[in-house]
Amino acid sequence: MKRLAVVTGASRGWGRALVDEFSDSGWIVIAMSRSKAGPLNWNSPGIVETVVHDVRNEDFQELHTVIGERPVDLLINNAAQGAKHQQLGSISTLGVMDAVDVNVGGPLRLVQALLPNLLAASDPLVINVTSRLGSVSAQARGDFSGLSTSYAYKISKAAQNMLTISLAQDLQGKVRAWAVHPGKLATGMGQPDASKHPALAARQLRELVDSGDSTSPRFCSLGDEDLGW
């Protein structure tokens, strides 16, 4: 039986690369995106089913209709919200809360909505796509002090990491939960020096998923050593 993966933020960037990688490797992929301006043509000949959904929305009727009672083996919470770096006096608290709503509230809503489907799978895994910039220990050491990163992004990714830990502890023995830093991806949200191709990171993640690692929670950095929380 083919395994089923749900990928949010699937219409562009790394999300799109993940859909192509997993479907090309024999998975059925539910590709979720916030809007559908036109038909989405996937590079893979595999099975891809498309759902239009904003992760800030708590109405999952379309998603439930598409998935039905099928087990969900993998949920990749990839949809993300960032913000431009600003000086302290100019930071919008609304912008920070918007990022938290997408980067933390979104994954939580998806897990809640799909929990029966996840529990129906033999070895389910939830992956929250995070960033090294969400590492509180690394930030406290000043590892990234030279980067112009917004409060909204750093705060929301750190909170997302705590969500990952909380899910892993709450669902211990039932559903694994990983926070995954894909690397410095050459996408619209990437740093100016980013050079890693999204397709490479997608393949690395698929290989990591296929490894069957039972560690949970885990803070992974694709192609490198695990990160400190």
Domain boundaries, given as residue ranges, for the chain: 4-221
- For tokens 């796509």, the residue is 129
CA distances in angstroms from 70 to 4, 23, 74, 118, 191, listed in the order given: 8, 17, 12, 9, 38
User: Which token pair is 144?
Assistant: 């990234």
Alpha carbons 128 and 165: distance in angstroms, whole number = 11
CA distances in angstroms from 132 to 33, 41, 118, 139, listed in the order given: 24, 31, 27, 9
Count CA within 13 A, CB hemisphere, residue 18.
Answer: 30
Alpha-helix residue ranges (DSSP H) falling in 61-194: 61-67, 93-100, 106-119, 136-141, 151-170
Given this model, what pLDDT does residue 73 score?
A: 98
Given this model, what pLDDT does residue 68 score?
A: 97
Sheet holding 48-52, edge to edge: 48-52, 28-33, 4-7, 74-77, 125-129, 176-181, 218-221
User: Which token pair is 214?
Assistant: 């039972």
Q: Can you give the three-state secondary structure of 29-89, one letter per residue?
A: EEEEECCCCCCCCCCCCCCEEEEECCCCCCCCHHHHHHHCCCCCCEEEECCCCCCCCCCHH
Q: To 5 degrees, how large is the angle CA 105–CA 198–CA 66?
A: 50
229 sits in which H/E element? none
28-33 and 48-52 strand pairing: parallel
Over residues 198-215, mean pLDDT: 96
Given this model, what pLDDT does residue 82 score?
A: 73
Rounded to the nearest 5°, which phi and psi values hold at 177?
-135, 125
Over residues 61-77, mean pLDDT: 97
Over residues 103-115, mean pLDDT: 98
Look up the CATH architecture of domain 4-221: 3-Layer(aba) Sandwich (3.40)
pLDDT tens for 10-61 read 998 899 999 999 999 999 999 999 976 444 566 666 799 999 999 999 999 9
Q: Is the pLDDT of residue 102 over 80?
A: yes
pLDDT tens for 156-182 read 999 999 999 999 999 999 999 999 999
Residues 6+ away with beta carbon under 8 Å from 210: none
Low-confidence winner among 10-14, 64-68, 105-109 (lowest mean pLDDT): 10-14
